[in-house]
Amino acid sequence: MMIEALKRYWWVPVLRGICGIVFGVIAFGYPGLALATLVLLFGAWVLIDGVFRIVGATAGRASDPDWGFHLIVGILGVVIGFLTFHSPGISALGHS
């Protein structure tokens, strides 16, 4: 069942991987602003990952028995992403 979902939505893990690679490359490109850059990129990563987890969970409801868990993790990711953009200083302290 999960194989069918991966065949149909193969682009979701590919896009997540590309976002991860871009996250790493940009982090190395800004050594002077590393902390601020990493905090904002973390917020973007968590937000984008949360959106894709929500999409994946709702699309795979029929074939994935753990879709509710993925939905909750996705919603938490979106909330944490927005909170990171709202208060990046507090987010930076939380990661230290």
> How far is the CA of 6 from the CAs of 2, 14, 15, in angstroms?
6, 11, 13
Distance CA(18)–CA(20), nearest Å, equals: 5
Kindly give the parts of the chain with pLDDT less than 50: none
Q: What's the CA gap between 18 and 29, in Å, rounded?
A: 16
The 3-state secondary structure of the chain reads CHHHHHHHCCHHHHHHHHHHHHHHHHHHHCCCCHHHHHHHHHHHHHHHHHHHHHHHHHHCCCCCCCHHHHHHHHHHHHHHHHHHHHCHHHHHHHHC
Residue 82 is predicted with a pLDDT of: 95
Domain extents in the chain: 33-96
The reported pLDDT for the residue numbered 54 is: 95
Structure tokens at 63: 């074939």
pLDDT of residue 63: 85
pLDDT at residue number 31: 67
Determine the pLDDT at residue 36. Answer: 82
